[in-house]
Chain A
Amino acid sequence: MICLLIVFGACKDDKQDPKVEGDLTDVLYAPVPYVPEIPASFPPLEVPEDNPLTEEGVQLGRRLFYDPILSADQTVSCASCHPIFSSFADPTRFSFGVNGTQGNRQGMALINAGFYQNGLFWDGRVMTLEEQALLPVEDPLELHEDWDNVVEKIKNHPDYPERFRKAFGIENVNDITKELAVKAIAQFERIIISGGNSKYDQVLRNEAFFTEEELNGFDMFFDISADIPDAECGHCHNGPLLSTNEYFNNGLDNITDLENFPDKGRGLVTQRLFDNGKFRAPTLRNIQMTPPYMHDGRFSTLEEVIEHYNSGGHYAPNLDPLIRPLGLTEQEKSDLVAFLKTLTDTNFLNNPDLSNPF
C-alpha cells in the first residue's frame, strides 16, 4: 500500500508544470481588514464593496502615493502636491507637475476625502476616490504619464508585484492593472482622516474652553446670537467635516456675463451656465495649515480670506446670496481667524500609516 502511494506521488510530480513566468501564488494572500479610527461625530465612512480596506491594500496605496514611479520622469508623486505637513494640500498657489509645468488650480487638502459623497476635486468631476486617482497620472500638467507605462514599471518593480498579490490576491504579475493601482491609492486616501482632536472638538466635548476671541469668532461663524454679526460662514462649512460639499460662487470675480469666468469650475462638469464660476466649499478642518486659499490660491492668509468675505465679494448673476457685506470690525475679523485656528488637528502627522514609507 505504501509503495502504491509512492508510485502515485511520483507520477504526480512527473506531471507538474514548470512554474509559470510571473507566478505569484507562492506569496501568501491573507488580507487583514483595516479598521480606521473615525471620530465619533463623523458620518459613516462609505467604502465600495469591491474595494474593502485591508492592511495590505492601504500599505500598497501609501507606497504608490509617495512613489514618483507614477510620473513620466519619475520625479513627481501624489505627495509632491499633497504633502502630509500641510494637511495633504499643496502649499504652492498652483501645483507643479513633471518638467515644472504649472497647473491652474490649487491642490486641495485630501484630509477626510473618503467622506465626500458629492464629487471630488474643486469642481466635483468624479464621484469616487478610485476615479479620482486615475486622472492625475495622465494629466499633462501633473504626472504626465501613460497608465500602460506605469503598469509596466510596477510589473518590473522588485517589490510591488508581491504587494499587489498580498493586497488583491492576483496570481500573476500580469494581472496588475491600473484599476488595482487606483484601488490601492484610494484605500490609502480613505484613511487620511483628521478630526476629533482639535481644540474645537475638545470644546464641543466640554474638555477645553475657547478664549474670548475664539468664542466670539465661533458665535459669528455659526450665527449663535442676534447681538453679534452673522459672518455667514457656517452655512457652507458645517457639520463634523466643516463642509457641506456643495458648490458655490463665492464672489471671487466681478463677472456680468457668466461665460467670462476665467475658470468655469463646476459649470464645465454640469454644462449649466449658472454653474460657471462655482467651486466646492472645502473642509475648514486644518485650514490654518493649508494656505494658499481658494481654488486658485489667490489668498495667502486667513486674514485675506476673511477680508474678502467681509467685503461682500464681487458681483456675478450667480453670486451666492450668502455672500454679502458683513460689516465686521477689525476685532471681529481677528476673532474669526482665532476661531478658525481652533480647527487645527495635527494628530494625523504622527500616524505611521500616513507618512512617507521610503
Chain B
Amino acid sequence: MNTKYFTMKNAILSSILSLFVWMSSCEKDPTPVGETAQFNLKFKTLFNGEPLIFNKAYTYQNTPFMVSKLQFYISNIELTEENDSPDKPEIVTEIGDVVLIDLEDVNSDSLSAIQGKTLTFENIPVGTYNGVGFGVGVYQELNRQIPSDFSSSHPLSSSGNYWENWNSYIFVKLEGRIDTNGDGEFNEGMLYHLGTDNLFSPISIKDGNIELVENGQATKSLVLELEKIFNNGDSSIDINTEFFTHTNPNEPGQLNLSTKFMTNFIDAISVE
C-alpha cells in the first residue's frame, strides 16, 4: 500500500519537474555542467600613451613627479550578457568577489609594464558576454569586515590596506614624490589614499562580445591613463598643490580631493 502511494507520488512529482524544466528551457538553455572557460582581465597603466614605470621621473604641467605605488581593489566582478527577451534585464554572472591589484611587480620595469597585470578567472560558464563590470573599491557589505577576519592569503587581510578611522579599506593608493619647487629634488610626498563607502565606484564596460567557448579563454584588456586622473575638466587635480589626501571625512579638503580623484580614476579606465 505504502509502496504504491510513493510510486504514484513520485510519478506526479516527476511530471511537475519535467514541466518545470521544459518551461525553463524556453527561457534560456542551462549551461551543461563542465562547459567552462577562462576569462582574463588585463590592466595596463599608461602615462602619455607609454607604459608607466614606477620611480621614473615624469612631468605633468611643468611639475616633475614620480610614482612609487599604485594599487586598488576591485570587487563585485561580473560578466554580463543580453537576455533573449529585450524587455528583460541582462543576465549577470559573478566571476569574482574581490581582488587587490598591486602594480608594483608589473610597473617596476618597462618590459613588464608593457605586458600589464592580468587577473585570471577560471571555471566561467561558456557563453557570449557583452561586457564586464566591477566596482573600484570594496563593496559596502564586504567593507564592514576588517583584516583580522581573514587569513593572510586573502586580499582583505592586510592591515596596511585598511584605515580604522574610516572603518573602511583603502580602495585606491597612489603614492610617489613631487618636485614642487623645480630644484631637481622630489621634495614633497605625493599620496592619495581613497576609501569609505561613498567612494565605492561601479564601472561597466560594454564594447562588444566576449566569447567564451569550452576550455577556451578570452581576454579583456583595459588601460588606466594616469594623466587623465590629473586632467579631467572641472574635476582636474593640480598636483603642485593637491598632492596629499587620506580621505579624512573630518577634513573637507581631503574629502573633496579624494572625490575628484575617484571620479577621474573611473574616467581614466577604458578598453585598450
Contacts and interface: CB of A to CB of B under 8 A. Distances in A.
Nearest to B178: A321
A315 B159 contact: no
A119 to B, nearest CB: 12
Interface in A221-255: 222-226, 230, 234-236, 238-241, 243-246
B14 to A, nearest CB: 47
A9 interface: no
A137 B227 CA distance: 52
A321 B176 contact: yes
B237 interface: no
Nearest to B170: A235
Most buried by A among B186, B190, B244: B186
Contacts, number: 84
Interface string A311-353: 0000101111111100000000000000000000000000000
A244 B157 contact: no
Nearest to A243: B159
B144 to A, nearest CB: 16
Interface string B192-221: 000000000000000000000000000000
A42 interface: yes
Contacts of A43: 147-148, 150-152, 157
A234 B165 contact: yes
Contacts of B152: 43, 46, 117
B164 A238 contact: yes
A44 interface: yes
Contacts of A244: 158-160
Nearest to B54: A274
A224 to B, nearest CB: 6
Contacts of A235: 163, 246
A230 B147 contact: no
Interface string B170-184: 000001110000000
A44 B189 contact: no
A238 B164 CA distance: 8
B240 interface: no
B246 A315 contact: no
Contacts of B190: 321
B164 A234 contact: yes
A12 interface: no
Contact of B164 (A46, A222, A319, A324): A222
Contacts of B188: 321, 324
A88 B35 CA distance: 56
B187 A274 contact: no
B220 to A, nearest CB: 30
Contacts of A117: 152, 157
A337 to B, nearest CB: 21
Q: Identify the 8 closest CB pairs spanning chains A and B, nearest first.
A: A321-B189, A239-B159, A244-B160, A117-B152, A226-B250, A321-B191, A43-B148, A226-B251
27 contacts: A42-B148, A43-B150, A43-B152, A46-B151, A46-B152, A222-B165, A223-B246, A226-B251, A236-B160, A238-B160, A239-B148, A239-B159, A243-B159, A244-B160, A245-B159, A256-B185, A273-B55, A274-B108, A315-B185, A315-B187, A317-B55, A317-B177, A317-B186, A318-B68, A319-B189, A321-B177, A323-B189
